[in-house]
Amino acid sequence: MTSTNAAIDPRFEIARIDRRIFGGFVEHLGRHIYDGIHEPSHPTADADGFRADVVELVRELGVSTIRYPGGNFVSGYRWEDGVGPVEQRPRRLDLAWHSTETNEVGLHEFARWLELVGSDLMLAVNLGTRGTQEAIDLLEYVNADADTAWTRQRIANGRSEPFGVRMWCLGNEMDGPWQLGHRNADDYGKLASRTAKAMRMLDPGVELVVCGSSGSGMPTFGSWERTVLEHTFDDVDFISCHSYYQERFGDAQEFLASGVDMSRFIASVVAIADAVAATKKSDKRIMISFDEWNVWYLHNDEGGQDDKPVEPGWPVAPRLLEDQYHALDAVVFGDLLVTLLQHSDRVRSASLAQLVNVIAPIMTEPGGPAWRQTTFFPFSLTSRLAGDRAISVPVESGTFESERFGTVANVNAVATLDDDGASLFVVNRSTTAGEELRIDVSALAEALGRSLSIAESHLLHDDDRYAANTLADPERVGVAPLTDAAIDGGILTFALPPISWAAVRLG
């Protein structure tokens, strides 16, 4: 056990937190929609076929804005297929995931599901196989309040009032050679600029996200962002970041440094965006929409991928990307959330990819139960406990050596503040060393004008780092109170075992 010193001081404010940082992502992929959120034959299904048990878990998870309908899926999607009478909708081949899309769930159905779970809609437009005209057609259908052919169709399809979608993604991962309609940065930047200008002519209030690189490991990372923003800087509000993490070759300690990678990724994109602003002599600041992030075992240790169905042909809703998450994954996941909050001055939106069955915190069995994966807990608790403002928490702790990142602190933390108190989110990244935390909260108490007490505390840790919640044992891993947490003389103390994440609410 080594000693960690830190402080929560309101003077170290980072920024006000945009609640869209607790967003999610739903794609027509595998069993996410069908047999996930939508299963008409399930005992809990409502009149629209949505599973009530999944609705309750998504509400508990606390997702704010949900990005839809993709993802790779959107680059081959015709949005018109998902509106109108369900029995008349066409079945289509989905080239992205080698599946058949039935279009039973489309825009109207998904919007009704969002009302059930209490989340806002964030839409992506297809700039892969389609273009500007189709994007503004969709925007007119969704947001216009004039009397037009598109709005009459919307009304005929059961929605008299506009959907009022504010946030829109201009395509998805357009630098990826796997993407339908893949383009180079120059061609995509020109298309995105034309589309953004047209969308603003129709609805000046929309907030637009231009595609950044699919990941910091892309060969064109950096140059892609610069070129795209040189074309679109005046037209958009956000640039996207996507990043996924996994343990490779059994190296848990290196995996636990994933938050460092995310932090450097964000800093690099911010630097590029601000460099473009400088060349344009503009004080505008492009924000980041980190609209895909998660732990995802995309590659096995031989470098292969498992993202196509094992069934022959083009199956409907095959089991794809159904990762089982361990306690270790949940700790890394919690650290990624800490990192996003540490960058809340520029990360104004983020989307956990994804929500149900597909690399998801929630799993379901057809006709059976739904349960929480280990990653469910850090997200739901952070979303619920996070206050209005992010506060930097400088930490002095033990360290470890990372092959990629050099010397890395064992402990990483961030706090949030609101009128009623503060919340602390902290992780111990070490695989071997426990940490005894001593956190000075005297400045916080002074700023709030009252003494502090521990309103609630939560520890996520398991002696078996590979323990998981499964269909057979859905409650194997959970959270427990920090039984040793105490405040004495303005100092908050508690211990963190190796590979652990914790949240403390100070009231």
C-alpha–C-alpha distance, residues 47 and 352, integer Å? 28
Whether 108 is in a domain gets the answer yes
> What residues pair up with 421 in beta bridges, in sequence order?
418
Residues 370 and 420 in one domain: no
3-state DSSP assignment of residue 186:
helix
Which two tokens mark 224? 């892609």
Render pLDDT for 214-266 as a digit per residue (tens, 0 to 9).
999 999 999 999 999 999 999 999 999 999 999 999 999 999 999 999 999 99
Render pLDDT for 155-197 as a digit per residue (tens, 0 to 9).
999 999 999 999 999 999 999 999 999 999 999 999 999 999 9
C-alpha–C-alpha distance, residues 487 and 502, integer Å? 16
Q: Does 292 qualify as catalytic in the annotation?
A: yes
Percent of the chain with pLDDT over 90: 96
Confidence of residue 299 (pLDDT cuts 50, 70, 90): confident
Please say whether the beta carbons of 335 and 429 come within 8 A.
yes
Cβ of 115: how many Cβ atoms within 10 Å?
9
Place of tokens 């309103």: 455
DSSP state for residue 90 in the 8-state scheme:
P
Which two tokens mark 253? 């300690």
Residues 153 and 269 in one domain: yes
Confidence of residue 306 (pLDDT cuts 50, 70, 90): low
Catalytic residue, candidates 39, 80, 134, 292: 292
Render pLDDT for 76-89 as a digit per residue (tens, 0 to 9).
999 999 999 999 99
Render pLDDT for 365-383 as a digit per residue (tens, 0 to 9).
999 999 999 999 999 999 9
Q: Domain range spanning residue 120? A: 18-385
pLDDT at 305: 54
- Which of 385, 414, 448 is the last residue in one of the domains? 385
C-alpha–C-alpha distance, residues 186 and 233, integer Å? 13
> What residues pair up with 209 in beta bridges, in sequence order?
169, 238
Q: Does 475 qualify as catalytic in the annotation?
A: no
Catalytic residue, candidates 39, 173, 225, 254: 173
Residues 41 and 107 in one domain: yes
Whether 13 is in a domain gets the answer no
Provide the edge-to-edge strand list for the sheet that holds 491-496.
Answer: 395-396, 2-7, 435-440, 491-496, 486-488
- Which of 363, 385, 407 is the last residue in one of the domains? 385
CATH number for 338: 3.20.20.80
Residues 361 and 501 in one domain: no
Please say whether the beta carbons of 369 and 53 come within 8 A.
yes
Whether 131 is in a domain gets the answer yes
Please say whether the beta carbons of 411 and 434 come within 8 A.
no
Residues 240 and 350 in one domain: yes
> Buried (b) or exposed (e) across 38-60, using 16+ Cβ within 10 A?
bbeebeebeeebbbebbbebbeb
State how many domains the chain has. Answer: 2
pTM of the entire structure? 0.97
